[in-house]
Structure 1
């Protein structure tokens, strides 16, 4: 972009297709269509599902077992080496064939496929992120029709393209147990394996398929732009009309109806008579002007409500009175600015005031965005769109005060449902385009496919209030500058190809089609505008004075805030942990696998030296004897403690640094998992929360007292306030505890305040070390008028493995009947815990009962605490009480 401040007023909404009147369309996933799939030599022939995929079909037919069990990711790899033919038999009526247009539409084919209809070739596919439309009018017949989709082995297809267009890197690291040349295919890159997931190079009709029958034209997409001026919103609506490529003239009527506050509505419409382009498309615009008083602003989670308004867009084809195409869109109004201006405007003439700031200003306010990174919800793409799974993960993010998720570039453009729920929950989306950790080819075939991919997905997604920013790729600028894949001998070649793909090919499409003018970042991480000034490959793409940063450090003490880098926006950072025993046991029932040195454990750990890093972090703070008979169980538990404490430290550090560096975002890696294995996730595969996700509820709390233990031994205290009102005349209470008592040995109160939307360093620091540091710890509490809740926070002056006085607690748990806390379909059971001494990382579990605790992983400093167990199934409180077990740290 040519200017440093990119202001764009955003009118955003989600799109849902409503069937046309007298709809003759044929859903190829209906029960009336019979699908089978067979391999190349015909030795396997089974029923198939659309939408679906080959691994799902083979498992359902009993040909393969649970693909995530044991070593099955490798043992079922033969599936990816074969050729698979999907055959569908469907019936077409005479009435359907009387229409002018008959289009075969695949909304997603994974990935290299050849299509035949009634033994006639009708087209091919090479991009799983693209909608394919084929004119099949001349191939259809009344009665039974046979559709064949032949999928080439993705491993073979990738190798064939690599032989012609080799691009580094060739393969993933051996420890991933993956496949090579993923960068040659427009396919979910993680399906060839990643450091957090297995390789399942899938094939299949992974999204819905249909035959569209109509006479005139249909609305394929709708885009909008709303400008706010002089107390009014001027809304521009652009409808993308699609017809057959042989049908060159579109004649009809386009109209729109917008429902507003107070049962008001506004309608507009106009006659349409336009010629289509060669691709059969034409765009037609409508304009609506409304007062800003008849709509409310849409806000991210934690900052306000998410009002959405119904917009209906209709197109009726003249001469076909009963043929109407329509879309229903729920819209939200907001403004957004991605600001990259001189940092001295915020921080003055300081070190932090050098360079450029990088933050989002929404509805006129600079907001600190808190959240995580999203990977596909399942390693099989068709299962990753499961609405129950997606909703569970997104509501968990909402409940942890997250206001942004970054959809990572090695995964998928997510389902319409995903973005709809983000609209409703107020979760902003940092949307990567799907290029990650590799160089990519730029041959003509590849670039043409990418153009279509970007065009279609911009038009599909740009309507959502949840889309905040586009990013061209994940880590590829850093990879090229850092020579991750031995590109240095051909640096200029790869730089030229990098610019050709992300700057010359993709960027103009985004800027042309996203009418709301969201920012397009060429890469993430990146120095933003500074990277562009340096020719798109900055000398240091992670310069803390610019843009966003990805940071991982497994060797330093991750509990220590002082190790973390300054950054304008932390868009990726993390540390690994192992999944709980309960989750691991869904992948293996062999007790011999439940050892850190077992072949199973080695197979599941894809991060080179990953277990060593976890052990090192545990050993810094916790005492764990390798000869302990419960070593593995404790290792798993302690790994989750270590991860939670590391992410707490880094996340709070970034929130604190809004004060000193104008850091304005913290998105840790990663929210979710695709299998039962060690990873950076806060939520295990299956939906169980790790300690990290519970801690995110606390370290992302809207109001938080956040202390920082300095290298000098002193403690600085920050008051974090993510609200639109200041905190004044407050008190921070610091209690000093011995490890063996629930009664503080010393308490002191300090005055505190924080402006609205700020991190404010308080005018006091602590030097409370007149007692031996290994005998005490500090608890921080906030008392402030108008602040309903603020979590406890703590400072441990010495590593927990060396503290004195920590004793074995007496813990009593009582579950009461649910009374006053019923929420929708969820039932809240009060769980009261009584202790007689300080308890570290008290972790509650239930065996065999689905649900989760409202809070968990407690640092217990009161004789009584209460949490809630949340479940959808009513059970007796006595039964729940009997199933609750607990763990805690003791040495």
Structure 2
């Protein structure tokens, strides 16, 4: 008998190349630079052919010898021929194909494999035309994407280019075997008593193709063997058979989200040996983790909760939404995925949402999440459209969903599968048929004007329950439990996408504390990347100004000129935006302030057990797929914007927060005609009627005793305006502890004769160490003066930099670039506070820096 062998067909290709290959050969310009995206549009209009030759495997004499070609992913409309014979036609980018070619190999040594790809846009239009029974409603992009099972962002999005790729985007393998393990499945239940795990009851199954063999099942933890099973199984005639056995693991080590416990992982090794035990015929390994995941949706005083409970512990989910890391997916290496998730972890984030307009990410992505303790909210690949449900489409979707559920179900990090992104929002916008309470017949949904309900509320949940019952299913994002009044933003139930910031009403970011919900799964603010990144995609120096043709081209957000200039103008003086770098800096400070305002106020709503007003916050978005001006908090080159650090501070295990009362002079409910949303403060009230709250949020599972220090520091002089306040605090575990509520500043006891602008600085001290701080500024910043701040940047040994100031400084930012790593950035400086210590790596000299009003 022979071993199972695999050969990746990664060389020897001859082809008419596409995008990255065309660039590599100098045949097209880099579409990520300048406006070159327009210059390469023709590529998507052509038919392309990939060709390779490979040698026939050795003629093994063993009975039952099989040769397969495995296509892990073909993008998207592909016809495959081997030695001139069609062996496969594919129309779904998200599925793997296995074709037996044992009887198709040429007598000669070399075989010719060809893959021809048709234009996805054209084929999509043909499908639209051939299914007039469906109203093909598609947001953001061309209608052709709706019936095509391809990464939807390839058609362009409000942060991404139109780059309709094609090609074998995942490896093509040649496999030879007499025995193959088709899949290994582990179903388990974690038994918890008095808050501690007592056992894991597991069932291990595997489908095996091949003769009777000796089965060896081993489970390892931290290099030590935990369980071992030996058995003889199989059919004498070599037909497929299924292995199944039940195992009990006593005193198991559980997998925990980051910050709540260790990420214990086990290795399951399944081997099919020759009957005499002398040869390994096939082997599969899986890294698994044991955890109990629940979605808590209990009725309470705020409506209905929405938070995750892992291993019996409520988890506040703070993190980011994830889009594909590149427009050309094969360019992203496994190490790059690891680097991205490492950034997430270092930023105190514990959840990532894989958005439904991209792809089911490669195993390296989820393995990194497993190891780093990052919870994964996984969308199925549907976004912003009314998808069809004709039989061929449903069959393709079922195959796609089943394959990816099976591929990914062993990852403990994946705790939720979600049916779609924003598809339910089309119901009310286009008055589609949706009777959640009265119509429970899935077959009737197929003939409605919103037939995709069948996919999200019948097909996908059935598959999820069948393939990975330990994982939670959620029909859509946002989703308000199906009632017609909760398909829109409803703060009382389900998850919400809060886009009345930037989009919609474009409300001031200072109103975010009142704009939350039970789980905010999207919100965001656009900002420029750092200047070094801008100069990489804008190659003409004459185009390096805000609002240039190239800069506008690299901002795909609808009405971005109005939105970004409006928000900057509301908050900052236009004279501060004197050039591209200065304007970019102001957008970064704006983004950091907005996201920090959302995270810290909604995390405050985490409250206590039984009062979880908000269960999580996910920013739109973590990353970019190309160099662009967008909502990302880390740019395409993995360079962090100041907002990244703002989230890091807001999501610290212990985080103190301060917020003053916001005076919104635009809100005039008695006279709606004159209600405005273009400015945001009544200056006189903001100066004289100062009321503020102070709180501490903890993700620690034990009580922490400390001290909160509150200071009032003049923006003009840097001197204290009022008496310093100290409060001893006992910070409750996994909760928000209120320190001060609606405290009014007493001007009669102030150290100044007349009211003046001051910042409120709060610091949390634990065991003599300042563990967290926060600052509340008067709004808007443009009403303040910033002369003579007395900023000092001192370079110490071993890459440490100390930053301090004599007067309050807003938005101090070091200019970052690829290859330079900072431990902190984008912070405010308050005289009398602890100096900021920043660890710098990768820089061979002093960094440039700026702050608001410099």
Answer yes or no: same fold by TM over 0.5.
yes
Q: Which residue does 1:526 correspond to in 2?
A: 479
Residue 59 of structure 2: aligned partner: 95
Shift of 1:78: 0.7
- 2:12 corresponding residue in structure 1: 34
Q: Which residue of 1 aligns with 2:595?
A: 647
Residues 741-772 of structure 1, C-alpha deviations (whole Å, 9 max, x = no match):
44433311123333211012235442115166
Listed as ranges, the matches of 1:399-548 within 5 Å are: 399-483=346-430, 494=448, 496-516=450-470, 518-527=471-480, 530-531=481-482, 534=483, 539-548=486-495
Structure 2 counterpart of 1:258, from 201, 214, 219: 219
The equivalent residue for 2:665 is none
1:807 corresponds to 2:807: no
Partner of 1:13: none
CA distance in 2 between partners of 1:275 and 1:635 (Å): 74
| 8 A Cα contact 2:234 2:241, kept in partner | no
In structure 2, the partner of 1:192 is 155
Assess, with a 3 A threshold, how the Cα gap between structure 1 residues 465 and 661 changes in structure 2: closer, same or farther: closer
- Structure 1 CA distance for aligned equivalents of residues 267 and 612 of structure 2: 41
Q: What residue is the counterpart of 2:105 in the other structure? A: 140
| Structure-2 change in CA distance of 1:559 and 1:724 (3 Å) | same
- Deviation track 1:488-526 (CA, whole Å, cap 9, x = no partner) reads 9x999555512222222222111101042x111111110
1:731 aligns with 2:707: yes
Q: Does 1:25 align with 2:6?
A: yes
In the alignment, which of 779, 802, 813 is matched to residue 761 of structure 2? 779
Kindly provide the CA deviation profile for residues 306-348 of structure 1, in whole angstroms up to 9, marking residues without a partner as x: 12122211123558963521122223222221111222xxxxx
5+ residue gaps, structure 2, are 436-443, 663-688
What is the distance in 1 between the residues matched to 2:816 and 2:461?
50
5+ residue gaps, structure 1, are 1-19, 39-45, 47-53, 244-248, 344-349, 819-828
Q: Residue in 1 aligned with 2:684?
A: none
Tell me which residue corresponds to 1:339: 296
1:619 to 569, 587, 598: 569
Give a deviation string over 1:142-179, Cα, whole Å, max 9, x none.
Answer: 51000001111111111111111255555655xxxx64
Residue 835 of structure 1 pairs with residue 805 of structure 2: yes
Distance 1:186 1:321, change over 3 A: farther
Q: Deviation string for 1:576-612 (max 9, x for gaps)?
A: 1122221111112212322333221222222221121
Task: Name the stretch that deviates more: 855-864 or 714-723.
Answer: 855-864
Cα distance in 2 for residues equivalent to 1:521 and 1:68? 36
- Alignment of 1:367 onto 2:315: yes
Q: Supply the distance in 2 between the matched residues of 1:391 and 1:338 (Cα, whole angstroms).
A: 27
Cα shift readout 1:786-805 (whole Å, capped 9, x = no counterpart):
x965321011133211125x
- The equivalent position to 2:604 in structure 1, one of 650, 656, 663, is 656
Specify the alignment match of 1:315 in structure 2. Answer: 272
SS at match of 2:291: strand
- State the partner residue of 1:633: 581
**Contact preservation (8 Å) 1:701, 1:790:** no
Q: Is the 8 A contact 1:219 1:241 kept in 2?
A: yes
Cα 1:812/1:370, change in 2 over 3 Å: same
CA distance in 1, matches of 2:146, 2:79: 21
How much does 1:425 deviate?
0.4
Instruction: Give the corresponding residue for 2:669.
Output: none
Match of 1:246 in 2: none
In the alignment, which residue of structure 1 is the partner of 2:654?
703
1:63-107 C-alpha deviation (Å, 9 max, x unpaired): 112120111222101111100010011111333586621111001
Task: Give the secondary-structure state (helix, strand or coil) at the position aligned to 1:880.
Answer: coil
CA contact (8 A) 1:481 1:539 kept: no
Instruction: Provide, for residues 708-734 of structure 1, a one-character-per-residue CA deviation record: whole Å limited to 9, x for no partner.
Output: 323474112222111101234x32211
What is aligned with 2:828? Answer: 859
Between the two proteins, the alignment pairs up a number of residues equal to: 801
Q: In the superposition, relative to structure 1, how do residues 451 and 613 fare at CA in structure 2: closer, same or farther (>3 Å)?
A: same
Change (3 A) 1:492 1:112: closer
SS for the counterpart of 1:302 is coil
* Further displaced range: 771-780 or 576-585: 771-780
- Match of residue 718 from structure 1: 695
Aligned to 1:9: none
Q: Does 1:126 align with 2:74?
A: no
The 1:274–1:620 alpha-carbon spacing in structure 2 relative to 1, beyond 3 Å, is farther
Distance between the aligned counterparts of 1:127 and 1:458, measured in 2?
A: 16
CA shift for structure 1 position 394 = 0.8
Q: Is the 8 A contact 2:513 2:601 kept in 1?
A: no
- In 1, the alpha carbon distance for the partners of 2:629 and 2:816 equals 21
1:207 alignment partner, one of 170, 187, 195: 170
CA–CA separation in structure 1 for the residues paired with 2:696 and 2:8: 56
Say which is worse superposed, 712-721 or 313-322, in terms of deviation. Answer: 313-322
Change (3 A) 1:275 1:500: farther
What residue in structure 1 maps to residue 185 of structure 2? Answer: 222
Query: Is 1:107 equivalent to 2:108 in the alignment?
Result: no
Q: 1:326 matched to which residue of 2?
A: 283
**CA 1:397–1:97 in structure 2 vs 1: closer, same or farther (change >3 Å)?**
farther
Distance (whole Å) between structure 2 residues aligned to residue 716 and residue 758 of structure 1: 16
Kindly report the root-mean-square deviation, in angstroms, between the aligned alpha carbons of the 2 structures: 2.8
Q: Is the 8 A contact 1:268 1:287 kept in 2?
A: no
Match of 2:246 in 1: 287
SS at match of 2:218: strand
Equivalent pair of 2:703/2:730 in contact (CA under 8 Å): yes
Q: Which residue of 2 aligns with 1:11?
A: none
Equivalent residue, structure 1, for 2:675: none
* CA shift in 2, pair 1:836/1:324, >3 Å: same
For 2:545, the equivalent position in structure 1 comes to 595
Please state whether the residue corresponding to 2:851 is helix, strand or coil. Answer: strand
* TM-score (structure 1 length as normaliser): 0.85
> Mean Cα displacement is larger for which, 301-310 or 638-647?
301-310
Separation in structure 2 between the aligned mates of residue 339 and residue 160 of structure 1, nearest angstrom: 44
Larger displacement relative to structure 2 (185-194 or 835-844): 835-844
CA distance in 1 between partners of 2:804 and 2:295 (Å): 49
Query: Post-superposition shift, 1:282?
Result: 4.8
Is structure 2 residue 55 aligned with structure 1 residue 84?
no
Residue 487 and residue 187 in structure 1: after superposition, are their counterparts in 2 closer, same or farther (change >3 A)? Answer: farther
**Structure 2 vs 1, CA of residues 275 and 690 (structure 1 numbering), >3 Å: closer, same or farther?**
farther
Which whole-Å CA distance do the structure 2 matches of 1:250 and 1:538 have between them? 58
Offset of 1:237 from its aligned partner?
4.0
Displacement of 1:888 in angstroms is 0.6
Aligned counterpart for 2:230 among listed residues 253, 269, 273: 269
Contact 2:795/2:801 (CA < 8 Å) preserved in 1?
yes
CA contact (8 A) 1:753 1:762 kept: no
Q: 1:97 to 1:434 in 2, by over 3 A?
A: farther
Equivalents in 1 of 2:432, 2:536: separation in Å? 36
Distance 2:766 2:414 in 1: 35
Structure 1 residues 229 and 644: CA distance shift in structure 2, 3 A: closer
The 1-side partners of 2:310 and 2:744 are apart by: 40
When structure 1 is superposed on structure 2, of 466-475 and 58-67 the one drifting more is: 58-67
In 1, Cα distance between the equivalents of 2:407 and 2:445? Answer: 35
